[in-house]
Amino acid sequence: MELRRLGQSGPDISVIGYGLMSLSQTYGPSEDAESLEAIHAAIDCGVNFLDTAEVYGTGHNERLFAEVLEKRRYEVIVATKFGLELGDEGMRANGRPENVRRAIEGSLDRLGIDTVDLYYLHRLDPEVPIEETVGTMARLVDEGKVRFLGLSEINSDTLRRASKEHPIAALQSEYSVFQRNPEESILETCRELETTFVAFSPLGRGLLTGTVRSAEDLGESDMRRHSPQLEAENLEHNLAVVDAFGQLARERDLEPGQLALAWVLAQDVVPLFGTRRAARVRSNAEAVRAELNAALLERIEDIAPAGAILGTGIPEAMEKLKQR
């Protein structure tokens, strides 16, 4: 597994990361034993950059991760997030300074550790200036409770303002062959500020791999059932792009997921994949071995240029929490 520096002065992280969200209810019921096997498989493959959040399974995800950290803490870089919570009207952002304090204590307790390596603000709170939130987060660094700071789904202006308060080691946003919004400006800003860009949902929540072909493929409690990408008016068009991408992967003796991850790696960012199965973890980790030359990248661009996929991959209410 290749490594790269996190931010300006952070630790070395694997060039590909493992996101634990799907292990805690978001995509339907899960089995802890299977989930733990998947986490151990990632570490065994050399993936040392593991990502969770307090909102995943309302704390279940961090407690699950703690079972691995009890024996393997020094093999991994622990990233967790705060600032996204479930209210009466659905998900909402909470970046108030007092919530920063409440959240870190809860995460440290659930994870069973003394320090979080990378602490993200999960979503920008439009009612709280970013300087107030990051300023409070920075004090956690001074106190030794957090090593490095990150943000998620914010725009270039917000990143610049936040960086004046404290260096931002990582910015995490959705990015894949099928979702190219970060190319508009944030990728360039991250390079300028030496902020590592972490791409979540690099497999398009299963769409890129070909494993999700309709909402009916998914369980009743799976968030993706409400994805506009799977709605009737978009689905036929989107599946044509999926099938063309899958055929290209097979021509190169790759699985579609491996080609999708290799494409993100070729953009010099860190893809953060998620899966519940250890076998899929090992397959995805092999993406670091794929070689994409200029001709192959051009073919991918022909098949899936920006805007090729219709609709968002998550419900509209969740999409609105992202800053543009």
Active-site choice (56, 119, 120, 175): 56
- Give me the amino acid identity at 11: P
Would you kindly state where each structural domain of the chain is located, as residue ranges?
3-207+256-290
Name the more confident of 235 and 26. 235
Cα angle vertex 279, ends 15, 213, to 5°? 90
Given pLDDT bands bounded at 50, 70 and 90, which one contains residue 30?
Answer: confident
Given pLDDT bands bounded at 50, 70 and 90, which one contains residue 237?
Answer: confident
pLDDT, average across residues 201-221: 70
Q: Which CATH number applies to 3-207+256-290? A: 3.20.20.100
Quote the pLDDT of residue 281: 95
Quote the pLDDT of residue 256: 92
CA distance 187 to 180: 10
Given pLDDT bands bounded at 50, 70 and 90, which one contains residue 220?
Answer: low
Quote the pLDDT of residue 22: 87
Catalytic residue flag (residue 18): no
Quote the pLDDT of residue 276: 87
Quote the pLDDT of residue 125: 93
DSSP per-residue codes, 5-50: E-TTT--EEESSEEE-GGGTTTBS---HHHHHHHHHHHHHTT--EE
Of the candidates 59, 179, 166, 64, the one whose C-alpha atom is nearest the C-alpha of residue 118 is 166
Any alpha helices (H) in the chain, and if so which ranges? 32-44, 60-72, 97-111, 130-142, 156-165, 186-193, 232-251, 256-266, 278-285, 294-303, 316-319
SS3 at position 273? strand
User: How confident is the prediction for the chain on average, in pLDDT?
Assistant: 89
Q: What is the pLDDT of residues 40-65, one digit of tens each?
A: 999 999 999 999 999 988 889 999 99
Tokens read off for 319? 């999409």
pLDDT, average across residues 282-306: 92
pLDDT, average across residues 228-248: 79
Given pLDDT bands bounded at 50, 70 and 90, which one contains residue 243?
Answer: confident
